[in-house]
Copies of this chain bind each other. A is one copy, B any other.
Amino acid sequence: MKTAICPGSFDPITLGHIDIIKRVSKLFDKIIVVVLPNPRKNPCFTIEERLDFIKRATADIPNVEVDCYEGLLADYCKKKQACCVVKGLRAVSDFEYEFQMALSNKKLNPDTETIFLTTSEQNLYLSSSIVKQIASYGGDISHFVPSCILEDIKNRLLKGSKGNEC
């Protein structure tokens, strides 16, 4: 059985994430979507909120599991005996950062590959940051996040200070 890992901060999960998860779920037997708390970013949503959003938004994809992990991605992959890590690429700058992370993870854990999928064209401009920025000004984010979690995200983000990404 082949297991693939989809890591991220998912703060919050967007339609861009969902698209990647759906497409990769057809390539491997099991997909684990794992929230990695990025210590360099001030998250907007708690780990619990983020896990809840991911679970609801991926409920219709049968071979998806949701998890969180505080530690090195390379160690998590070993623990889960994953064959690969999956990342979506939108732009050249994504590519460069992810390229370095992939080489670095390969050094720490040679048994796990990193594979990249290109973002679908309708999600090219889409990032969790942009969602938060638009929502904080009361803009319409219904094209950006799964409809089943839209209201919860809107409510939470409007409570934050104006224009601030939490």
User: Are A27 and B113 interface neighbours, CB within 8 A?
Assistant: yes
Question: Does residue A91 face the partner (Cβ distance < 8 Å to B)?
Answer: yes
Task: Give the residues in chain B near A165, CB-CB below 8 Å.
Answer: 39-40
User: Are B163 and A70 interface neighbours, CB within 8 A?
Assistant: yes
Q: A39-B162, A39-B163, A101-B125 are in contact. Are A137 and B71 (CB under 8 A)?
A: yes
Q: A27-B2, A124-B124, A165-B40 are in contact. Are A100 and B91 (CB under 8 A)?
A: yes
Partner of A139, one of B39, B72, B95, B137: B72
Q: Within the assembled complex, what's the spacing in Å between the Cα atoms of A90 and B102? A: 12
**How many residues in A have their beta carbons less than 8 Å from beta carbons of B?**
59
CB distance from A38 to the nearest CB of B (A): 8
A residues contacting B by CB (< 8 A) are 2, 23-24, 26-28, 37, 39-40, 70-72, 74-75, 83-84, 89-93, 95-97, 99-104, 106-108, 113-118, 120-122, 124-127, 130, 133-134, 136-137, 139-140, 143, 161-165
User: Are A91 and B96 interface neighbours, CB within 8 A?
Assistant: yes
Q: A27-B113, A116-B89, A134-B108 are in contact. Are A121 and B139 (CB under 8 A)?
A: no
User: Are A37 and B99 interface neighbours, CB within 8 A?
Assistant: no
Task: Give the residues in chain B near A163, CB-CB below 8 Å.
Answer: 37, 39, 70-71
User: Are A103 and B125 interface neighbours, CB within 8 A?
Assistant: yes
User: Are A93 and B96 interface neighbours, CB within 8 A?
Assistant: yes
Q: A91-B99, A99-B91, A163-B37 are in contact. Are A121 and B125 (CB under 8 A)?
A: yes
